[in-house]
């Protein structure tokens, strides 16, 4: 095959543009949580990051001991910033931080050593001013699965299929909210929960959004509800976390899809494999913030009675499972 230097350069430029687009966004929003003005998402993520170190420490096995003065100081500092920024003190992130301090305070050595006096006073200030919130107290006993539930999850996983034939029936918002609440229970890096879900009912805007997606031909016109799943980069401190937005979103998405299926609602992931230009066009049409990475589209709706799906066989378990002793 003949080598075309111009074509090769163009292809390389297109690849570079994709990487640079991502790099620019990561540099701008995964910025060690530097804030020049109040920013709820950045502050709440940083606060969770630090107080999670405390609640995690409180759940470790072994002898009960004092730990984590640095993250505790940072938690108090961020709570101060929260209050001075005027964010709600009924927010679960704020209260979760205070309850973690409440659990942590019990580990303070008595008498309080000189170097911990400032921290002791700062924590006490929050504990005295904020009413205890029992639902958020930490740590809590783990709930155990009482009997083997594998059949349920096996059957759910088998019934869940990518559906491309929907009826016109709208999807009830309360079912979506319930599914989101299940999806939110997915693990996420330091519990920062970066995902956001944007929904668009069938209509003009939805159809415009689908034009920039390359895998909905033949059924895109009949999607009752379109989801766009994003991950907010402000949840992450720097480029070393560049995989987390995708991983957290994948875990969220699977829980969401299963929770939809458990309520009789079908779905189909729609890839977001696009150039920077397409990504930007969708941002122009929506209120998706520049800090949010678009991870995937998701078609949501009730499957038609006569809906068929591709067999799509899976690889054998042996071909993917590698046991190393």
Ligand X SMILES: Cc1cc2nc3c(=O)[nH]c(=O)nc-3n(C[C@H](O)[C@H](O)[C@H](O)COP(=O)(O)O)c2cc1C
- Should residue 293 be labelled a site residue for ligand X when binding is judged by CB under 6 A? no
Backbone angles phi, psi at 75, to 5 degrees: -60, -45
Contact present, 294 and 246 (Cβ < 8 Å): no
> Out of 32, 37, 312, 316, which residue is the one contacting ligand X (CB under 6 A)?
312
CB of 184 to ligand X, least distance (A): 20
Residue 158 binds ligand X, judged by CB under 6 A:
no
Supply the DSSP string of 242-259, one letter for each residue: TTHHHHHHHHHHHHHHHH
Determine the 3-state secondary structure of 97 from DSSP. Answer: helix
Q: In what order do the strands lie in the sheet containing 292-301?
A: 195-201, 225-232, 292-301, 266-271
Q: How far is the CB of 39 from ligand X (least distance, A)?
A: 30
Q: How many residues of this chain interact with ligand X, rule: CB under 6 A?
A: 11
Binding-residue pattern over the window 46 to 85 for ligand X, x denoting contact by CB under 6 A: ----------------------------------------
Q: Does 221 bind ligand X (CB under 6 A)?
A: no
Which residue's Cβ has the minimum distance to ligand X? Answer: 215
x/- mask, ligand X, residues 265-284, rule CB under 6 A, reads ---xxxx-------------
Binding of residue 165 to ligand X (CB under 6 A) = no
Residue 295's region, left for phi above 0, alpha for psi from -120 to 50, else beta, is alpha
d(CA 210, CA 286) in angstroms, rounded, equals 12
* Cα–Cα distance measured from residue 325 to residue 319, given in angstroms and rounded to the nearest whole number: 17
- Under the binding rule (CB under 6 A), the answer on residue 210 touching ligand X is no
String of DSSP letters for 196-255 = EEEEEESSHHHHHHHHT-SS-TTTGGG-SEEEEEEEEGGG--SGGGTTHHHHHHHHHHHH
Cα three-residue angle 185-38-101, rounded to 5 degrees: 50
Residue 153 lies near ligand X (rule: CB under 6 A)? no
Q: End-to-end alpha-carbon separation of the chain, Å? A: 47
Please, which residue, 52 or 161, has the CB nearer to ligand X? 161
Q: How far is the CB of 286 from ligand X (least distance, A)?
A: 19
Question: Considering only 158-166, 187-195, 228-236, 237-245, which stretch makes contact with ligand X by CB under 6 A?
Answer: 158-166
In the bound complex, what is the minimum distance in angstroms from residue 263's beta carbon to ligand X?
Answer: 18
164 is a contact residue toward ligand X (CB under 6 A): yes
Q: For ligand X, which is the closer residue by CB, 45 or 230?
A: 230
Q: Which residues bind ligand X (CB under 6 A)?
A: 161-162, 164, 215, 268-271, 296, 309, 312
């Amino acid at each position: 095959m003949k080598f075309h230097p111009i074509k090769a350069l163009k292809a390389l430029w297109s690849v570079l543009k994709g990487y640079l687009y991502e790099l620019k966004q990561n540099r701008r929003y995964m910025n060690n949580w530097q804030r020049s003005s109040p920013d709820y998402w950045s502050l709440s993520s940083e606060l969770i990051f630090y107080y999670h170190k405390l609640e995690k420490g409180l759940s470790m096995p072994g002898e009960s001991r004092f730990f984590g003065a640095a993250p505790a100081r940072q938690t108090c500092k961020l709570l101060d910033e929260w209050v001075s920024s005027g964010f709600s003190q009924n927010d679960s992130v704020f209260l979760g931080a205070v309850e973690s301090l409440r659990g942590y305070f019990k580990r303070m050595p008595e008498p309080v050593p000189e170097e911990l006096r400032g921290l002791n006073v700062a924590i006490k200030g929050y504990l005295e001013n904020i009413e205890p919130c029992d639902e958020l107290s930490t740590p809590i006993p783990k709930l155990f699965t009482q009997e083997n539930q594998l059949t349920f999850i096996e059957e759910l996983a088998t019934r869940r299929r990518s559906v491309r034939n929907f009826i016109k029936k709208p999807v009830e918002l309360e079912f979506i909210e319930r599914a989101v609440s299940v999806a939110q229970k997915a693990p996420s890096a330091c519990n920062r929960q970066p995902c956001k879900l944007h929904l668009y009912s069938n209509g003009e805007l939805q159809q415009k959004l689908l034009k920039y997606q390359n895998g909905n031909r033949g059924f895109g016109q009949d999607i009752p509800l379109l989801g766009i799943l994003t991950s907010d980069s402000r949840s992450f401190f720097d480029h070393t976390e560049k995989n987390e937005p995708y991983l957290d979103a994948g875990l969220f998405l699977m829980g969401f899809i299963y929770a939809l299926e458990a309520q009789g609602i079908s779905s189909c992931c729609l890839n977001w494999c696009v150039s920077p230009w397409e990504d930007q066009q969708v941002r122009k049409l929506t209120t998706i913030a520049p800090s949010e990475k678009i991870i995937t589209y998701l078609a949501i709706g009730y499957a038609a009675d006569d809906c068929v799906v591709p067999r799509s066989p899976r690889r054998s378990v042996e071909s993917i499972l590698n046991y190393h002793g």
